[in-house]
Structure 1
């Protein structure tokens, strides 16, 4: 493995095929929830991949049976109590979206189990997003007590239309992989046992394509996302303003209750 990735702690790397780099989010016992370390690593990894001459395609998945369990509750609580932490994470959330969008290498995501929070940003902004039929895609912002920000306002309306985006973002209803494909939220749906093989198959096909053709096709298509920049910046500001309000404390208490050790991990979070 390149020294480029040696300093990462919560992201693991392997090469499942020539010129295909697979990134695995790993936070054992917490459904790969993004703590402060992983959140920062999810921001900078796309810059490292973009600059890596050995990578033609990147893949992202979660360890075990979960893709991403949302934000680590310790980090969320710190954001409500410390302005420095809040502003750091705000900048990271903005940079995460733009770094995924601006990465010149194609990105393939493989989502199974819960897909929430910072991991979901990369999952849905990936150039080819593949979800297990039984995946549970949830934008949990309003359940926490803050406005739906980060990737939500920039990409959900483009992918599945404004009516569906409003329904799922306002209510925080879980979207199965099957339903996500039906409404256009993800590129493909696969059976759980076929998910990672399908993602690798797509990545290998992309790795054999013309690098410049893929790069500039991605660049042109992502201009739709760049044009939504002012909307994204506004939504992000409204989201993080909510962390200083009273509703987030009630949301934190509710989420903490659902993440007890005895809580059923197969239930929507």
Structure 2
């Protein structure tokens, strides 16, 4: 069991799922599980990231959860403020609607939507300037890992954002390490491999910010109840960004319990 002063985070990334009826049932089932087996807020920070058109409905439903369960946006615009940008949602608009957390840099955004460092930096800068907390995703491909480049790739992704993050803004960033080869594949980095990368990320952060020792670094990539306890026991793994397993209330609750029990 790890002993850390960092409160763990467990965030469910629903991606482009589910339909409305299933989303409402998922939230209802999760709230019931929290009633039957509470997870103290000081033991674990909880969040879910629904599709954009469900942000406000999810936020409203979670207000009756009995404890804070944050609503997280899956994305935001590289454009700030308001204006004639059809289809875009800015950081300022998210904040105005009470959404205080946002994912940036997920490998699916990088790979499928060609979001490079310049685009991601614009999004991060907008989010931080609007007062949002950013969950910044980093990770390497299987080819990069097999070529021995995993550490260099991930640390470069961390360094990429340093140019747009002011010194005091690092406390509003959570890092999520997601090896691309483990996302949605059923494959998971071994706890030892994940811990090694997390430790390297923290060492890299120490070269950039004085907040490195207090920043949460989450693991993502086929996290499920069966591996959550082992992952949670690693000292530099401070939570999980959960994909498919977050679409099942019981699985998501069990993962959250695993990380809450480290405190």
TM-score of the aligned structures, taking structure 1 as reference length:
0.28
TM-score (norm 2): 0.28
